[in-house]
């Protein structure tokens, strides 16, 4: 073990202690967290590298703890950051958290309720103090979780959306928008959560289809015995009705133009108005107008100058204006009103009806369209450049389809309601002078009216939508509005990694704020990943009871195992389904890597650190040239895939190389020769083992940082973190010939193993093998040169090539890769062999038929590309050859090959 790991872990000072046969993440993961932190590995910014790579973290809410979605998000970002670092870039990842206005206020209020009190009893100041306490506690919790996942964030630059820098950014942005007239206050209908008692923006409402009723009610026409039949899903709102609207062309109602209705139960006289908005086909064609409680009615009401009767209180009860129902909950009132209508003979019928009802995205209570005084951001002017930037490709979505979602939304965007009737958040930085009436926005707290110098000022009570400060995140994390070096160096950031669920909430807002205040897009790429679901594909949620705690997975399998599993299973932009058991995929892989390293260190504890180019080329054999060629190909491939965000393919590629090429074949091939070869050849093999192990560790480091550090530190001559090792060089030419020859040999070995398994030859028992190619010189050459390969890999002793079996020699044959292979055995088993050969024969006949048909098709020959035709011909020739050998053997065995 190197000095650094000893210093990082006071418990393990025995340098001679070999790696244990099971990798135990708990024994080293904490050590590396501490090492990274103590050595400020992630905080050396700006670094000397002129190439900058920067990610700002999607700040987790300080409401609680991180879930699987965060774990996936963190894994992807960390892999990108470490990859870029390894590739020599100045890779900066800025962490932080979000104050999460409503969400956090809700959890603290819930806590207060449990204590038998509420925020009003505490008062604003004390309450906000309580929330800060909560924030501090959960901040530490979340920070610890990010560390445990191995997040390579630069904690020295941590931000909180409510800290001084963010506050400055919020006030600066607000004041500028206010002064430019892009922020305004108005008395309008907004979405109101009666439980949170605050306004919500349009996208903070979640619509859920619900079974409800369509209620038909009679509205008596004044001075007549006629009734107008209206249909509504919300009968209780009739208390606030200001009119009934009909379509001007609706002949059923022409005679009612200009008449008055008597509002049932309330006895208010309301006009019958004509409106083209009304759909004659829908319902009864008569629409009750409740301007204060329905967005459409609001618009119609304003157009017709109707009064806006507010019939609900802030918490969803009937106002005192309607004594019969005053103080009643809205849903209770609905029932009561229907009863009363029935009693009055004004109720006609109710029909089952499905419609979607809006719910608060934070507390799920159904929201009320509610008229109130709120602050808004004018969106049209801000949205235009944000759309243009994506159309121009200045910001690119990965996968691309999300650009459409983003653009659609911005195209149809409406003004953004930014005021919230909460206490936790950035207070709207606007002051009114009580003397001269001047209203001003200010960055500093205002103590004096700028116009009349009066100190009699009042600040707005409301706070801002939490997404207002989140929208400034890429700017505020880099120091805006100050003109910092960070801003110059790292803005625009390289990529934003997030889930599709916050494209509107967050991505779009950062885009238009970034363009408005930062003068450029906030990030070049937006990498949208899927969400983590349970093994049946259901969303994880507390109420479904199917959540898996990332910390639990880390405890059981280790952070690397969790990370690798996400990467291995989650393909680009798709959701990833997991169960606890599934994380074994990553655990097993880490264990494989661990044992690979352990074995290499046992076989070659002090390998020469010669570069591969310096090796004596003459001692290299086919297997060596093959693995070096494969290794170089994987380096190239992995780098390309990472650069295009295909982390899944990248991880699978390295996995398959390490496990199947390197371990299953190369290491197995080296085991015997490394002891028996000349010192030069053995040294070369050892050098190759170390070379590839090192490079593979580096390639895997972005995915599984802990175990790669741990193994790296055990290798001779490693002083620094593996993060400083640099991405492996492609140092070997591609070598198709070696690859093809090894693949041929692998097929031969599999053929022999297949027969061995069929004959139930014990694995340790060596068998003699004779191989006939019937004169194929290339094959003969390869087989002769590689007899060691075959004997090592298939437990063979005594190989002959191109020497027919003598009379009376018992053998079972296999046909593989165009070679007839005879495995000597003592027992008479021709029945079994015949069965196997006949099965193969049938298959070969099928395949040949198919191939011949194809090649006999004139259209195919005339239209298909030449190389495809050649390939088909070669394939057919090979199969014919195999078939002939099968038939001959069957004939020899006395079975009549058909």
Partner RNA sequence: GGGCGGGUAGUUCAGUGGGAGAACGCUUGCUUCACACGCAAGAGGUCGUGGGUUCGAAACCCACCUCGCCCACCA
Please, which residues have CB within 8 angstroms of residue 302's CB and are 6 or more apart in sequence? 291
Tokens, residue 153? 């964030």
**Shortest Å, Cβ 157 to RNA:** 32
Instruction: Indicate whether 864 belongs to the interface with RNA (CB under 7 A).
Output: yes
Instruction: Indicate whether 356 belongs to the interface with RNA (CB under 7 A).
Output: yes
Instruction: Indicate whether 653 belongs to the interface with RNA (CB under 7 A).
Output: no
Q: Determine which residue in the list 30, 46, 271, 295 makes contact with RNA, applying CB under 7 A.
A: 295
Instruction: Indicate whether 590 belongs to the interface with RNA (CB under 7 A).
Output: yes
**Shortest Å, Cβ 126 to RNA:** 36
Contact between 499 and 43 (Cβ < 8 Å)? no
Distance CA 93, CA 116 (A): 42
**Shortest Å, Cβ 574 to RNA:** 3
- In the bound state with RNA, the residue whose beta carbon lies nearer, of 10 and 865, is 865
**Shortest Å, Cβ 246 to RNA:** 8
Instruction: Indicate whether 797 belongs to the interface with RNA (CB under 7 A).
Output: no
Using a 10 angstrom Cβ sphere, with 0-12 exposed, 13-18 middle and 19 or more buried, the burial of residue 251 is exposed
Extended beta strands in 410-486, E state: 416-417, 419-420, 430-433, 439-441, 457-459, 463-464
Instruction: Indicate whether 350 belongs to the interface with RNA (CB under 7 A).
Output: no
Distance CA 551, CA 397 (A): 31
Distance CA 746, CA 817 (A): 9
Instruction: Indicate whether 659 belongs to the interface with RNA (CB under 7 A).
Output: yes
Q: Determine which residue in the list 188, 750, 824, 884 makes contact with RNA, applying CB under 7 A.
A: 750
**Shortest Å, Cβ 400 to RNA:** 9
The residues in 261-280 that bind RNA, with binding defined as CB under 7 A, are: 277-280
In the DSSP assignment, the letter for residue 204 is: G
Cis preceding-peptide flag for 360 (omega within 30 of 0): no
Please, which residues have CB within 8 angstroms of residue 681's CB and are 6 or more apart in sequence? 619, 621, 673
Instruction: Indicate whether 637 belongs to the interface with RNA (CB under 7 A).
Output: no
Q: Determine which residue in the list 65, 350, 421, 652 makes contact with RNA, applying CB under 7 A.
A: 652
Q: Determine which residue in the list 21, 249, 617, 734 makes contact with RNA, applying CB under 7 A.
A: 21
- In the bound state with RNA, the residue whose beta carbon lies nearer, of 34 and 750, is 750
Closest among 237, 379, 400, 415 to 312, alpha carbons compared: 237
Degrees, nearest 5: CA angle 881-884-886: 110
Identify any residues that bridge with 185 across adjacent strands, giving them in sequence order: 375
Instruction: Indicate whether 602 belongs to the interface with RNA (CB under 7 A).
Output: yes
Q: Residue 771 is inside which H or E element, if any?
A: strand 767-772
Query: How many other β-carbons are positioned within 10 Å of the β-carbon of residue 731?
Result: 14
- In the bound state with RNA, the residue whose beta carbon lies nearer, of 23 and 386, is 23
Q: Determine which residue in the list 380, 765, 863, 873 makes contact with RNA, applying CB under 7 A.
A: 863
Distance CA 340, CA 348 (A): 12
Tell me the torsion sign for CA atoms 521, 522, 523, 527. Answer: negative
Q: How many alpha carbons fall within 13 Å on the CB side of residue 4?
A: 21
Q: Determine which residue in the list 296, 319, 637, 830 makes contact with RNA, applying CB under 7 A.
A: 296
Distance CA 138, CA 154 (A): 19
Instruction: Indicate whether 283 belongs to the interface with RNA (CB under 7 A).
Output: yes
Q: Determine which residue in the list 276, 536, 618, 896 makes contact with RNA, applying CB under 7 A.
A: 536
Q: Which range in 66-74, 251-259, 666-674, 825-833 contacts RNA by CB under 7 A?
A: 666-674
- In the bound state with RNA, the residue whose beta carbon lies nearer, of 89 and 741, is 741
Instruction: Indicate whether 664 belongs to the interface with RNA (CB under 7 A).
Output: yes
Write down the residue that tokens 């006395």 correspond to: 894
The residues in 827-856 that bind RNA, with binding defined as CB under 7 A, are: 846-851, 854
Instruction: Indicate whether 743 belongs to the interface with RNA (CB under 7 A).
Output: no
- The β-bridge relationship of strands 493-499 and 205-220 is unpaired
Instruction: Indicate whether 758 belongs to the interface with RNA (CB under 7 A).
Output: yes
**Shortest Å, Cβ 775 to RNA:** 26
Q: Is 212 helix (H, G, I), strand (E, B) or coil?
A: strand
Q: Determine which residue in the list 202, 340, 381, 888 makes contact with RNA, applying CB under 7 A.
A: 202
The residues in 206-245 that bind RNA, with binding defined as CB under 7 A, are: 206-207, 209, 230-234
Distance CA 654, CA 671 (A): 22
Q: Sketch the per residue contact string, 406 through 425, with RNA: x for CB under 7 A, - otherwise.
A: --xx--x-------------
Q: Determine which residue in the list 574, 611, 644, 678 makes contact with RNA, applying CB under 7 A.
A: 574
Instruction: Indicate whether 575 belongs to the interface with RNA (CB under 7 A).
Output: yes
Degrees, nearest 5: CA angle 68-71-73: 110
Identify any residues that bridge with 199 across adjacent strands, giving them in sequence order: 192
Identify any residues that bridge with 214 across adjacent strands, giving them in sequence order: 351
Residues that contact RNA, how many (by CB under 7 A): 96
Instruction: Indicate whether 668 belongs to the interface with RNA (CB under 7 A).
Output: yes
- In the bound state with RNA, the residue whose beta carbon lies nearer, of 170 and 742, is 742
**Shortest Å, Cβ 492 to RNA:** 26
Degrees, nearest 5: CA angle 107-111-117: 125
Q: Determine which residue in the list 118, 535, 724, 729 makes contact with RNA, applying CB under 7 A.
A: 535
Q: Which range in 92-100, 463-471, 478-486, 565-573 contacts RNA by CB under 7 A?
A: 565-573
Instruction: Indicate whether 857 belongs to the interface with RNA (CB under 7 A).
Output: yes
- In the bound state with RNA, the residue whose beta carbon lies nearer, of 571 and 800, is 571
Cis preceding-peptide flag for 671 (omega within 30 of 0): no
C-alpha gyration radius of the chain = 37
In the DSSP assignment, the letter for residue 364 is: -
- In the bound state with RNA, the residue whose beta carbon lies nearer, of 153 and 263, is 263
**Shortest Å, Cβ 592 to RNA:** 5
- In the bound state with RNA, the residue whose beta carbon lies nearer, of 537 and 679, is 537
Query: How many other β-carbons are positioned within 10 Å of the β-carbon of residue 735?
Result: 18
Q: Which range in 85-93, 590-598, 713-721, 772-780 contacts RNA by CB under 7 A?
A: 590-598
Distance CA 382, CA 513 (A): 8
**Shortest Å, Cβ 595 to RNA:** 4
The residues in 147-186 that bind RNA, with binding defined as CB under 7 A, are: none
Q: How many helices (H) and strands (E) does the chain have?
A: 30, 29
**Shortest Å, Cβ 483 to RNA:** 37
Q: Determine which residue in the list 63, 152, 498, 585 makes contact with RNA, applying CB under 7 A.
A: 585
- In the bound state with RNA, the residue whose beta carbon lies nearer, of 859 and 898, is 859
Distance CA 687, CA 607 (A): 6
Instruction: Indicate whether 753 belongs to the interface with RNA (CB under 7 A).
Output: yes
Q: Which range in 6-14, 126-134, 153-161, 349-357 contacts RNA by CB under 7 A?
A: 349-357
**Shortest Å, Cβ 201 to RNA:** 10
The residues in 442-501 that bind RNA, with binding defined as CB under 7 A, are: 501
Please give the backbone phi and psi of residue 155, each rounded to the nearest 5 degrees, phi first.
-65, -20
Contact between 59 and 96 (Cβ < 8 Å)? yes
Q: Which range in 50-58, 159-167, 387-395, 754-762 contacts RNA by CB under 7 A?
A: 754-762
Report the largest interatomic distance among the alpha carbons of the chain, rounded to a whole angstrom.
121
Helix pair angle (550-557, 25-38), 10° resolution? 110
- The β-bridge relationship of strands 493-499 and 523-529 is parallel
Q: Which range in 160-168, 543-551, 756-764, 797-805 contacts RNA by CB under 7 A?
A: 756-764
The residues in 111-140 that bind RNA, with binding defined as CB under 7 A, are: none
- The β-bridge relationship of strands 243-246 and 269-274 is parallel
**Shortest Å, Cβ 873 to RNA:** 12
**Shortest Å, Cβ 586 to RNA:** 9
Q: Determine which residue in the list 102, 403, 569, 723 makes contact with RNA, applying CB under 7 A.
A: 569
Q: Is 356 helix (H, G, I), strand (E, B) or coil?
A: strand
């Amino acid at each position: 073990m190197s000095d650094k790991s000893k210093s990082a872990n006071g418990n393990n000072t025995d340098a001679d202690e070999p790696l244990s046969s099971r990798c135990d993440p708990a024994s080293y993961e904490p050590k590396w967290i501490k090492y990274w932190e103590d050595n400020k590995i992630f905080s050396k910014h700006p670094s000397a590298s002129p190439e900058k790579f920067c990610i700002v973290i999607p700040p987790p809410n300080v409401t609680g703890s991180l879930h699987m979605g965060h774990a996936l998000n963190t894994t992807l970002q960390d892999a990108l950051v470490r990859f870029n670092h390894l590739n020599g870039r100045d890779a900066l990842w800025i962490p932080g958290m979000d104050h999460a206005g409503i969400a956090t206020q809700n959890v603290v209020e819930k806590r207060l309720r449990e204590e038998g009190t509420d925020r009003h009893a505490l008062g604003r100041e004390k309450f906000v103090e309580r929330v800060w306490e909560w924030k501090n506690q959960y901040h530490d919790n979340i920070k610890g979780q990010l560390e445990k996942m191995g997040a390579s964030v630069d904690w020295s630059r941590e931000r909180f959306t409510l800290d001084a820098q963010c506050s400055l950014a919020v006030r600066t942005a607000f004041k500028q928008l206010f002064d430019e007239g892009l922020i305004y206050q108005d008395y309008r209908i907004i979405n109101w959560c009666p439980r949170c008692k605050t306004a919500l923006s349009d996208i903070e409402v979640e619509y859920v289809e619900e079974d409800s009723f369509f209620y038909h009610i009679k509205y008596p026409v004044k001075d007549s015995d006629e009734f107008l039949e209206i249909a509504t899903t919300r009968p209780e709102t009739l208390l606030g009705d200001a009119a009934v609207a009909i379509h001007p062309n609706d002949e059923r109602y022409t005679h009612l133009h200009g008449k008055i209705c008597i509002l049932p139960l309330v006895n208010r006289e309301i006009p019958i108005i004509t409106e083209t908005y009304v759909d004659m086909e829908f319902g009864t064609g008569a629409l009750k107008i409740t301007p204060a409680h329905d967005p459409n009615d609001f618009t119609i009401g304003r157009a017709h100058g109707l009064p806006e009767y507010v019939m609900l209180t802030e918490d969803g009860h009937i106002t005192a204006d309607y004594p019969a129902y005053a103080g009643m909950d809205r849903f209770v009132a609905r029932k009561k009103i229907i009863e009363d209508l029935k009693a009055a003979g004004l109720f006609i019928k109710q029909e089952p009806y499905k419609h979607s009802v809006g719910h608060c995205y934070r507390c799920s209570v159904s929201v009320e369209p509610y008229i109130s005084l709120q602050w808004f951001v004018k969106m049209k002017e801000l949205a235009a450049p944000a759309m243009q930037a994506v159309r121009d490709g200045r910001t690119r979505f990965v996968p691309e389809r999300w650009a459409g979602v983003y653009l659609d939304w911005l195209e149809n965007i409406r003004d953004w309601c930014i005021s919230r009737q909460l206490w936790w958040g950035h207070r709207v930085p606007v002051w009114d002078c009580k003397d001269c009436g001047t209203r001003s926005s200010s960055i500093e707290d205002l103590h004096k009216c700028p116009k009349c110098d009066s100190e009699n000022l009042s600040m707005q009570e409301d706070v801002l939508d939490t997404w207002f400060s989140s929208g400034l995140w890429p700017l505020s994390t880099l120091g805006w509005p100050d003109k910092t070096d960070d801003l110059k160096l790292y803005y625009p950031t390289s990529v934003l990694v997030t889930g599709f669920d916050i494209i509107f909430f967050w991505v779009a807002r950062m885009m238009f704020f970034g363009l408005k205040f930062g003068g450029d897009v906030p990030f070049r790429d937006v990498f949208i990943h899927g969400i983590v679901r349970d093994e049946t594909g259901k969303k994880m949620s507390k109420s479904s009871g199917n959540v898996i705690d990332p910390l639990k997975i880390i405890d059981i399998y280790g952070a690397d195992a969790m990370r690798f599993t996400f990467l291995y299973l989650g393909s680009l932009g798709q959701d990833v389904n997991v169960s606890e058991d599934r994380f074994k995929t990553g655990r097993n892989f880490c264990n494989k890597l661990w044992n690979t390293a352990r074995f290499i260190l046992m076989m070659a504890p002090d390998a020469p650190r010669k570069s591969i180019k310096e090796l004596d080329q003459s001692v290299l054999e086919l297997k060596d040239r093959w693995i070096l060629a494969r290794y170089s190909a994987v380096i190239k491939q992995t780098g390309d895939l990472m650069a295009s965000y295909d982390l899944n393919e990248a991880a699978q590629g390295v996995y398959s190389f390490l496990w199947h090429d390197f371990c299953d074949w190369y290491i197995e091939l080296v085991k015997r020769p490394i002891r028996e070869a000349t010192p030069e050849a053995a040294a070369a093999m050892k050098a190759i083992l170390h070379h590839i192990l090192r490079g593979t560790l580096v390639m895997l480091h972005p995915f599984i940082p802990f175990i790669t550090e741990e193994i790296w530190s055990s290798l001779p001559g490693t002083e620094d973190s593996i993060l400083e090792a640099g991405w492996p060089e492609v140092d070997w030419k591609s070598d198709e010939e070696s690859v093809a020859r090894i693949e041929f040999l692998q097929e031969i070995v599999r053929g022999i193993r297949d027969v061995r398994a069929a004959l139930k030859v014990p694995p340790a028992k060596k068998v003699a093998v004779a191989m006939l190619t019937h004169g194929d010189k290339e094959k003969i050459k390869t087989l002769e040169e590689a007899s060691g390969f075959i004997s090592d890999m298939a437990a063979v002793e005594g190989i002959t090539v191109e020497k027919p079996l003598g009379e009376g020699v018992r053998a079972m044959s296999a046909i593989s890769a165009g070679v007839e292979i005879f495995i000597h055995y003592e027992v008479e088993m021709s029945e079994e062999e015949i069965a196997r050969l006949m099965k193969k024969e049938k298959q070969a006949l099928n395949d040949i038929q198919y191939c011949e048909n194809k090649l006999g098709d004139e259209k195919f020959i005339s239209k298909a590309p030449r190389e495809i035709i050649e390939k088909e011909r070669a394939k057919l020739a090979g199969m014919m050859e195999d078939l002939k050998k099968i038939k001959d053997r069957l004939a020899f065995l006395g079975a009549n090959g058909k």
